[in-house]
Structure 1
Amino acid sequence: MNITRENVDALNAVVKVDIAKEDYSDKVEKILTDYRKTANIPGFRKGHVPMGMVKKQYGKAVLVDEVNKLLQDALNKYLTEEKLDVLGQPLPKPQDDIDWDAEKFSFEFELGLAPEFEVELKGKKAITQYNIVADDKMIDEQVERIQKQYGKLVSQETVEKDSEITGTFTNEEKEIDNKVTLTLDKFEGKATEKQFIGAKVGDVITLKTKGLYSDEHELMHALKLSHDDVHGLDIEVNFTINEINKRELADLDQELFDKLFGEGTVKSVTELKDKIKEDAEKQFVQQADQKLLNDVTEYLVENTKFDLPAEFLTKWMQTAGEKEMNAEEAKEEYEKSEKSLRYQLIEGKLIEANDIKITMDDIKDHARNMIKAQMAQFGQMNPSDKELDDIAARVLSNQDEARRISEQIISQRLLEVYKEKANLKTKELSYENFVKEVYGDK
């Protein structure tokens, strides 16, 4: 067997594999001999079928199968030994005229080669690293939410500005009949609020759906309709009032503190606010980190310049998926996935340059910590090591889940690299201002 490579350019190559009779003949002969021992052919006793007949019936199929196996093994070994960094998979050049009666065969494969490039983390323009803080306004609002959540409902005769109103939305034509509890602050306009003020149980209020809520999701919940159904909906609905209540705020006392955080953990309103601030800012770190990860990724993709073997990858995509694509579909798919492919190559460079390695112990530890955090949300604060290990083993038996956890760890490790080596500038702001700046004032 002989394997040669011709580099077309820096990103494309053709590998030629020449297979001679001595490479496959012994294997083919052995398989046909085994076939002869077990073949059932009318007119011959088992094991006594003439070899010529076995070769005539099975010879070509066995030859084709063995040559293909030999070809794939040789090609994979060659790519490994030559340390070729290929993109996609080798593409066989079409050969419609293979003479399987010949003794020698030649096959050619197109290769797409990974480009050579350098990754520069420290760019001229600094990337913003957000430090999100819980300000007094947010903490006070959270305290009030807690008081409302654990407070008690007091029945009212008429609707006031801060009432909780339970009632039913109806519209015969659209078959709307949905019972909800609402508060007036959720409505978009003051005019709607005025319609409710002073109303009593049993009153029916007619409302227009257009402009009723600023967020369509609120309207979806109120009317129990799908997103498509509420989009642009402009009808009248009736709201029949069933109950009117006012929520009396819970006292900020030790009983409430113990209910929220466990006995003796928080002992004053000041400690309550400190705890709320601490817990909120832990959550904010995750959001800030995700924003930083997204921004650095975007920066790297936009500023790390290299060419890709686009023609090869487009051709490869035609047959790489579960469903075969035509040339136009493959071109469209390549254009959609090019950015992702570029980042995969950049990420690979960064992982290698920073010696990032993920062990099975890392994956198990991450899974255990993830499970422990989830269990804590449901009040299971001290699970045993055996419980964690058993659940982690079940989680990691799913290959997709194990791969997802591995990707999470790599992202965390890369984030540490970015924080250490990228050109960053820190910006401190409240969560409200963070949302406005990053996502727009919605």
Structure 2
Amino acid sequence: MNITKEQIDSLNAVLKVDIKKEDYHEKVEKILKDYRKNANIPGFRKGQVPIGLIRKQYGRAVLVDEVNKLLQDNLNKYLTEEKLDVLGNPLPKQQDNFNWDADDFAFEFELGLAPEFEVPLKTKKAITHYNIVADKKMIDDQVLRIRKQYGKLVSKQAVGENDEINGTFTNEQEEIDNKAVLELSKIKSKKAVTALKGKAVGDTVTLKTKGLFKEDYLLPSTLGIPRERAEDLNIEVSFTIEEINEREPAELNQELFDKLFGEGNVTSEKDMREKIKADSEAQFQQQSDQKLLNDVTERLIETTSFDLPTEFLKKWMQTTGEKPLSAEEANDEFERTEKGLRYQLIEGKLITEHGLEIQFDELKEFAKGFIRSQMAQYGQVNPKEEDLDNIAGRVLGNQEEVKRLSEQLMSQKLLQLYKEKANLKTKEVNYDQFIKEVYG
């Protein structure tokens, strides 16, 4: 067998593969003889079928299968040995006069080659890296939420400013009949607040659904209807009051601290506020880092210029999916995926140039950290190292999980690279400012 490469241009090449009879004949004959030993054909004893009949029935299929195996194995070996960085897979060229009855065969495969380029991490225009801080107002609000959450309900006779009202929403025409808790602090409509204040158990109040709540997501759950149905809903509903409660905030004492943070970990309101600040800013860091990762990715795609073997890739996309695509469909698919493909090439270049690797031990530690954070959500704040090792072992036994965790860990390594090498400017903001700047 002989393989040669014809370079068409910097991004395209053709591999020519010549297969001689001696490359496949011995293997094909052995398979046919094995077929003969086990063939059950009427009129012949097992193992006594003439080899000519076996060759006539199975010879072409065995030949095609073995030649294709030779092609696959040797093409992969050639690409590896020659260190050819290809995009997609080699595409066989159409050969109209191909003859399987010949002794020798010649095949041609189109190659799409990865471009050569440099990645300018130090872009001219600096990229904003947000440092999100938990300000005093945010910490005050969080402390109040905690105190209310762990406080006790005190029954009241009439509705007041910050009460929680248990009752039933009804609208016969819209088939609404749902028990819910209504918190005055979450109501946006001033008319609704005025209508509810001073009302007693047994009273019924008519409320308009449009603009009722400060947050739109509250309406469907309160009325017991699907989210799609609640969108732009503008009707009147009756709300019959069944119970009125005021939530008396919990005291900031050691019992509450232990319940929230574990025994003895927090011993004062000052400690609690510092813990809330640290935990909040750790969460904000994740959002800030994701924003930075997205922004650097976009900037690198914008500033890293290179050509792609576009026509080859479109042709490859026509044949690579579950079902063949038309030329128009492949063109649309290329337009949808081009940006992602460009970043894959950029990312691969950065990983290679900066020696970013993932060792099994660090992947295991990364998995344990992920498991530890999940367990903490269910109140298991100090799991045993042995338990973490066992769970991590099971997780890393799943190849899909290994792939997912490896991608996350590599993203962290790239993020660290960007923090060290990219042109960044730090901007300190509180969370509300961050949301306003990033999402408008």
- What range describes the TM-score normalised by the shorter chain of this pair? over 0.9
| Cα contact 2:111–2:312 (8 A) shared by 1 | yes
Distance in 2 between residues matched to 1:116 and 1:9, nearest whole Å: 13
Task: Tell me the equivalent position of 1:354.
Answer: 354
367-376 or 316-325: bigger deviation: 316-325
Please state if 1:343 is matched with 2:319. Answer: no
Task: Tell me the equivalent position of 2:293.
Answer: 293
235-244 or 424-433: bigger deviation: 235-244
- Map 1:346-385 onto structure 2 (within 5 A): 346-385=346-385
The sequence identity of aligned pairs, in percent, is 65
Distance in 2 between residues matched to 1:245 and 1:16, nearest whole Å: 83
Query: Structure 1 residues 192, 276: CA separation in 2 closer, same or farther (over 3 Å shift)?
Result: same
Task: Tell me the equivalent position of 1:326.
Answer: 326
SS for the counterpart of 1:361 is helix
Query: Structure 1 residues 333, 173: CA separation in 2 closer, same or farther (over 3 Å shift)?
Result: farther
Task: Tell me the equivalent position of 1:272.
Answer: 272
Task: Tell me the equivalent position of 2:261.
Answer: 261
| Cα contact 2:396–2:402 (8 A) shared by 1 | yes
Distance in 2 between residues matched to 1:373 and 1:124, nearest whole Å: 38
Q: Structure 2 length normalisation: TM-score? A: 0.96
1:284 CA displacement: 1.3
1:277 CA displacement: 1.0
- Map 1:17-56 onto structure 2 (within 5 A): 17-56=17-56
Task: Tell me the equivalent position of 2:102.
Answer: 102
Query: Structure 1 residues 322, 172: CA separation in 2 closer, same or farther (over 3 Å shift)?
Result: farther
| Cα contact 2:8–2:14 (8 A) shared by 1 | yes
- Map 1:6-405 onto structure 2 (within 5 A): 6-405=6-405
**Structure 2, unaligned runs of 5 or more:** none
Letter in 1 for 2:306: F
SS for the counterpart of 2:246 is strand
**Per-residue deviation, residues 189-233 of structure 1 (Å, max 9, x unmatched):** 212211111122222222222222354322222223223212222
Distance in 2 between residues matched to 1:317 and 1:437, nearest whole Å: 39
**Per-residue deviation, residues 360-411 of structure 1 (Å, max 9, x unmatched):** 2222111111111211222222322332122112222222221110001101
| Cα contact 2:186–2:215 (8 A) shared by 1 | no
Query: Structure 1 residues 336, 215: CA separation in 2 closer, same or farther (over 3 Å shift)?
Result: farther
Distance in 2 between residues matched to 1:9 and 1:212, nearest whole Å: 65
Distance in 1 between residues matched to 2:67 and 2:82, nearest whole Å: 22
| Cα contact 2:205–2:240 (8 A) shared by 1 | yes
1:234 CA displacement: 2.2
1:96 CA displacement: 4.8
1:185 CA displacement: 2.7
Letter in 2 for 1:302: E
Letter in 1 for 2:103: E
Q: Structure 1 length normalisation: TM-score? A: 0.96
Distance in 1 between residues matched to 2:200 and 2:300, nearest whole Å: 61
Distance in 2 between residues matched to 1:307 and 1:214, nearest whole Å: 50
Letter in 2 for 1:398: N
Query: Structure 1 residues 229, 324: CA separation in 2 closer, same or farther (over 3 Å shift)?
Result: farther
| Cα contact 2:128–2:292 (8 A) shared by 1 | yes
Q: Which runs of 4+ in 1 moved over 6 A?
A: none
| Number of aligned positions between the proteins | 440
Query: Structure 1 residues 339, 200: CA separation in 2 closer, same or farther (over 3 Å shift)?
Result: same
Distance in 1 between residues matched to 2:341 and 2:309, nearest whole Å: 12
Query: Structure 1 residues 94, 297: CA separation in 2 closer, same or farther (over 3 Å shift)?
Result: same
**Per-residue deviation, residues 316-354 of structure 1 (Å, max 9, x unmatched):** 122222233222222212111111111110000110111
SS for the counterpart of 2:243 is strand
Distance in 1 between residues matched to 2:232 and 2:352, nearest whole Å: 52
Distance in 1 between residues matched to 2:170 and 2:307, nearest whole Å: 60
Task: Tell me the equivalent position of 1:435.
Answer: 435
Letter in 2 for 1:399: Q
Distance in 2 between residues matched to 1:203 and 1:317, nearest whole Å: 66
| Cα contact 2:10–2:115 (8 A) shared by 1 | yes
| Cα contact 2:148–2:249 (8 A) shared by 1 | yes
**Per-residue deviation, residues 132-154 of structure 1 (Å, max 9, x unmatched):** 11111111111111110111111
Distance in 1 between residues matched to 2:138 and 2:85, nearest whole Å: 52
| Cα contact 1:169–1:177 (8 A) shared by 2 | yes
Letter in 2 for 1:245: N
Letter in 2 for 1:406: S
The CA RMSD measured in Å over matched residues stands at 1.5
Letter in 2 for 1:36: R
